[in-house]
């Protein structure tokens, strides 16, 4: 065993020599960056496919995707830095170190949604329709992107001995993310100390995969533009609220100490459900009023 080993003991899986970087032509490239790039490429490919399949102009989606990738990355980084300022205020150069991880998806979603809104306003397009199409690509990107956390040995939860439990070398993770309960259950294998944790990156990846399948199925059944995006916010919010509660690297609101992503997940999920309910009710009322309007026009 070495510090590059990752175990899933209850599944009988041992992964040897899982590095954080790969050397290509003398350059060290982080797997985290490779995974994020792959996630973006696959996400864009899927949303372009959905745009074309639903009779939309896929060239417009390609254009807005290129812009949104940049703004979303910046938003994800800014969000993470803002809520980790106690660390970054004394390590300002680390703000630019994207290779070490530190991207918060909600920051990316907020920045990306704002970018798409501005784009649709300028191009006089329907924001809800664009959001519906783009969010399926976003979910696929999240399914893949979470595996960057696997290579970085981050975004894990507290101690567990469930079926999917993951064991990581203690020296390979940040000390601030190790809890007392993990230390109480520490295991020494071939001279290497391992902590056993919830693989929350895996939970979220699998949750998002199920959400993606549902959204793709629902796309042709939606009642109004923007409903798929609202269901994404609802589904992702529910899953993230649960998963965030397990993690040991939560970004906390200053003073109150509440996990900011968990609170935002709950608020977005509730708001989205309410908006869907209001829009659906308005649609039903309009359908009920249609016979009356037709009879009045006939009279």
Residues at the annotated binding site?
146
Task: Look up tokens 């007392």; give the residue.
Answer: 180
Q: Which of 270, 255, 269, 281 is nearest to 83 (CA)?
A: 255
Joined tokens for residue 279: 């829009």
Contacts of 12 (CB under 8 A, 6+ apart): none
Angle at 278 between CA 273 and CA 283, to 5 degrees: 125
- For residue 34, count CB atoms less than 10 angstroms from its CB and return exposed for 0-12, middle for 13-18, buried for 19 or more: middle
**Pairing, β 192-197 against β 166-169:** antiparallel
Continuous H helices in the chain: 31-53, 58-82, 85-88, 105-123, 127-145, 147-152, 180-184, 200-218, 227-244, 260-298
Per DSSP, the three-state class of 203 is: helix
- Tell me the CA distances in angstroms from 276 to 5, 126, 191, 233, 261, one per residue in order: 46, 17, 55, 11, 22
Question: Cα separation of 32 and 135, whole Å?
Answer: 22
Q: Of all helices (H) and strands (E), which one includes residue 169? A: strand 166-169
Question: Cα separation of 30 and 213, whole Å?
Answer: 30
Question: Cα separation of 177 and 182, whole Å?
Answer: 10
- For residue 119, count CB atoms less than 10 angstroms from its CB and return exposed for 0-12, middle for 13-18, buried for 19 or more: middle
């Amino acid at each position: 065993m070495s510090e590059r080993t990752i175990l899933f003991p209850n599944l009988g899986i041992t992964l040897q020599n899982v590095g954080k970087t790969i050397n290509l032509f003398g350059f060290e490239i982080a797997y985290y960056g490779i995974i994020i790039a792959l996630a973006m490429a696959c996400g864009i490919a899927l949303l372009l496919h959905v745009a074309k399949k639903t009779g939309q102009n896929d060239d417009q989606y390609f254009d807005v995707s290129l812009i949104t990738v940049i703004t979303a990355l910046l938003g994800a980084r800014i969000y993470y830095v803002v809520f980790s300022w106690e660390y970054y205020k004394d390590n300002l150069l680390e703000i630019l170190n994207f290779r070490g991880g530190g991207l918060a998806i909600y920051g990316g979603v907020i920045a990306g949604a704002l970018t798409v809104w501005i784009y649709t306003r300028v191009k006089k397009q329907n924001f809800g329709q664009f959001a519906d199409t783009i969010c399926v690509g976003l979910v696929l990107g999240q399914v893949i992107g979470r595996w960057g956390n696997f290579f970085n040995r981050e975004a894990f939860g507290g101690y567990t001995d469930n079926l999917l439990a993951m064991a990581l070398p203690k020296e390979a993770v940040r000390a601030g993310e190790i809890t007392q309960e993990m230390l109480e259950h520490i295991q020494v294998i071939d001279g290497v100390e391992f902590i056993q944790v919830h693989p929350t990156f895996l939970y979220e990846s699998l949750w998002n995969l199920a959400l993606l399948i549902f959204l793709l199925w629902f796309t042709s059944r939606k009642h109004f533009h923007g409903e798929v995006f609202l269901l994404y916010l609802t589904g992702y919010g529910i899953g993230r609220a649960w998963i965030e509660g397990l993690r040991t690297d939560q970004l906390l609101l200053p003073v109150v100490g509440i996990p900011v992503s968990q609170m935002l997940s709950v608020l977005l999920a509730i708001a989205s459900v309410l908006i869907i309910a209001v829009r659906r009710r308005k649609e039903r009322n309009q359908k009920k009023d249609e016979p009356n309007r037709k009879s009045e026009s006939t009279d």
